Amino acid sequence: MRKLALVLPAALLILALATPALSTPGSLSVQGEETYDHWGLCRTRSWGDNGFFQVSETTFRPAIAFESLGELKDVAWGVGQRLAEQYSGNQLAEQIFLYARNRVAYTSDLDQFGSDEFARNADEVAGEIESRGSARGDCEDYAVLLAVMYRAAGFRSAVVLAPGHAAALVHLPNYPGANTSWNFGDTGGWVWAEATGRTNPLGWTPTEFMDSNLAAYEVVDGENVFDAGEAEVLATAGGNPVLGFSPFFSMIFFLWLLSAFRRR
């Protein structure tokens, strides 16, 4: 059996000692090859009951998003509300998107932390932006940050999972800038928020996902980190979403695990 590591890797130690906030981990613990925050969520693994995305063969849930909601609302929620005081409607949605797109530089976790995977919650990323003017992150960091900020600003939002990739969704019926819209849950009019590229506009769905049935989880304020919940089918508007999770979805999650988040 491996002994509990006594020293955090240097990059993670810096993160753990960053300016404290209500929903930052405060301290991180390394157990074997995995890193946990003080809520018991694994930051270096997406799958399993305590993985940051709780990925399984049948569903997923972006558990790490709920470290910045409910009683844990903090920096990211405040930024969303601040922007909502200045803008409204589609312009507000665009400003939230630009906040993440223009202030977070896409960086792999291997380059930033020396680890194949290390997820951060929305307040850790927003706190770095607010204190330093910019931050670094990969696709799940963008997705969680946007989902929380959109929810704070009064929009319905979700995290969508595709093979090896994650993004945010925001409910913007009839948004003119979208190259497609999505049906999700009980409504249509959801658009993709893909902020990983500096020239991406709000509403742009990558072509490889345009005609796919995917899975998404709506971010609802008040859920706890380990509350139960299941993802739902996401389908392009006009498409016919499958009922329940087909073998196709099992393949999505299998590919997600194999990818180890090594992506665009």
Q: What is the mean pLDDT of residues 29-55?
A: 93
Which amino acid, residue 144?
V
Which amino acid, residue 209?
F
Task: Tell the burial category of 91 from Cβ atoms under 10 Å away from its Cβ (0-12, 13-18, 19+).
Answer: exposed
Question: pLDDT tens digits for 159-209?
Answer: 999 888 899 999 999 999 999 999 998 899 999 999 999 999 999 999 988
Q: Where are the beta strands (DSSP E) in 95-185?
A: 104-106, 135-137, 157-162, 165-171, 182-184
Secondary element (H or E) of residue 4: none
Question: pLDDT tens digits for 239-257?
Answer: 554 444 455 455 555 555 5
d(CA 35, CA 30): 4
Residue 197 corresponds to which tokens in the numbers above?
């590229």
Residue written as tokens 């099992």?
A: 250
The structure's pTM equals: 0.85
Is the alpha carbon torsion for 170, 176, 178, 184 positive or negative? positive
Which amino acid, residue 156?
R
The segment with the largest mean pLDDT, out of 8-22, 43-57, 73-87, 248-262, is 73-87
Task: Tell the burial category of 171 from Cβ atoms under 10 Å away from its Cβ (0-12, 13-18, 19+).
Answer: buried
Is the alpha carbon torsion for 183, 187, 191, 194 positive or negative? negative
The total number of residues shown for the chain amounts to 264
How many other CB atoms are there within 10 angstroms of residue 228's CB atom?
8
